[in-house]
Amino acid sequence: MKAWKKAIALMTLGILAALPDAQAASLPADVHSETLILEGEGEQIEGVLYRPEDDSKTYPTVIICHGFTGNYHYLTGRIAQELAKNGYAAYAFNFRNPDTRSMLNTSPLTEAKTLNIVIDQIKKLSWADSNALYLLGESQGGFVSAYVAAQRTGEQDDIRSLILYYPAFVLQDDARARNPRYQEEGYTYAETETVGGNQISGMYSRDALSFDIYDVISAYQHDVLIIHGTADTVVPLSYSERALDVYPHAELKIIQNAGHGFYGGGEFKTAVEESIEFLNAHRKKD
């Protein structure tokens, strides 16, 4: 009966399933993990949750967004584990079905819609401190996190701070290069385009070019930490340097010789340590 009542409560909150996490074997005993599937506006969103074991408390909560073609099995899930070891609830999710690497129904704005659903659902959960809610995004997930955090500034204003790993602010320039005549009246985007060996739809470029990301993010009034490597050839460091000038309250941590994707032991450790230090400082402020 208790299990049945819990299932009804989860369905009411928009949670389809809370299942054991297959990657949890190496975690400390005091860290809880589960696969958490959210639902909203017809979407089913799969992710993995890590948090301290005691479910009678609330925890500062970090929602983590992966990059272009990624999923939570790679970098973002590892980040979530490290945050949970340090007293945070961390949810890393997939923007799309990881079984098909198709990007044909995806754009920065569809991902922004998905992230807004995740934020609204996570805020309702008993262990999430809705007054200590943070976003962490890597690459395109950083672009989307920056966009959503700024859009939620104002009446909601619920993203207390923001962490961006090599945010893909370059993607609008890339879309312009693929569509040099996009500003001409009557311009039609190609049905499909190819980016990094992956097919995307014309919707991706159309949505990407419908606003200026630097104009949008200037509205975000809370603190931002940007971490970027000097050897990044996918998103040059200059894009984060420009963001540093645009944000009212931002700092840029540069990792020497790090490329795009902090997968290596040293750069991953440095990025996570910087992130935890930043979050801890904001927990004290909040």
Task: Compare 55 and 14 and report the one with higher pLDDT.
Answer: 55
Query: What are phi and psi for residue 237, nearest 5 degrees?
Result: -55, -30
Q: Residue 3's pLDDT is what?
A: 38
pLDDT surpassing 80 at residue 205: yes
CA–CA distance, 210 with 34 (Å, rounded to integer): 37
CA–CA distance, 32 with 48 (Å, rounded to integer): 11
pLDDT surpassing 80 at residue 59: yes
CA–CA distance, 66 with 140 (Å, rounded to integer): 7
CA–CA distance, 272 with 262 (Å, rounded to integer): 10
Q: Residue 15's pLDDT is what?
A: 60
Instruction: State pLDDT tens for residues 248-280.
Output: 999 999 999 999 999 988 999 999 999 999 999
Are 113 and 105 spatial neighbours (Cβ–Cβ below 8 Å)?
no
Strands 128-138 and 43-52: unpaired
pLDDT surpassing 60 at residue 94: yes
| CA diameter of the chain | 63
Instruction: State pLDDT tens for residues 221-241.
Output: 999 999 999 999 999 999 999
pLDDT surpassing 50 at residue 161: yes
| Angle subtended by helix axes 265-285 and 75-85, to nearest 10 | 50
Q: Residue 264's pLDDT is what?
A: 82
What value does the mean pLDDT take over residues 63-73? 93
Report the 10 Å Cβ neighbour count for 84. 24
Please, which pLDDT band fits residue 103 given cuts at 50, 70 and 90? confident
Amino acid identity, residue 161?
S
Q: Residue 97's pLDDT is what?
A: 60
Name the fold adopted by 2-285.
Rossmann fold (3.40.50)
pLDDT surpassing 90 at residue 285: no
Average pLDDT taken over every residue of the chain: 89
255's tokens: 């990792």
What value does the mean pLDDT take over residues 2-10? 39
**pLDDT more than 90, % of the chain:** 77
The 8 Å CB, 24+ separation contacts for 173-182 are 175/204, 175/205, 175/208, 175/209, 176/209, 178/205, 179/205, 179/209, 182/209
Please, which pLDDT band fits residue 19 given cuts at 50, 70 and 90? low
User: Domains of the chain: which residue ranges?
Assistant: 2-285
pLDDT surpassing 80 at residue 6: no
Please, which pLDDT band fits residue 28 given cuts at 50, 70 and 90? confident
pLDDT surpassing 70 at residue 13: no
Q: Residue 282's pLDDT is what?
A: 86
What value does the mean pLDDT take over residues 38-47? 87
**pLDDT more than 70, % of the chain:** 88
Q: Residue 4's pLDDT is what?
A: 35
pLDDT surpassing 60 at residue 100: no
Q: Residue 17's pLDDT is what?
A: 55
What value does the mean pLDDT take over residues 134-158? 95
31 three-class SS: strand
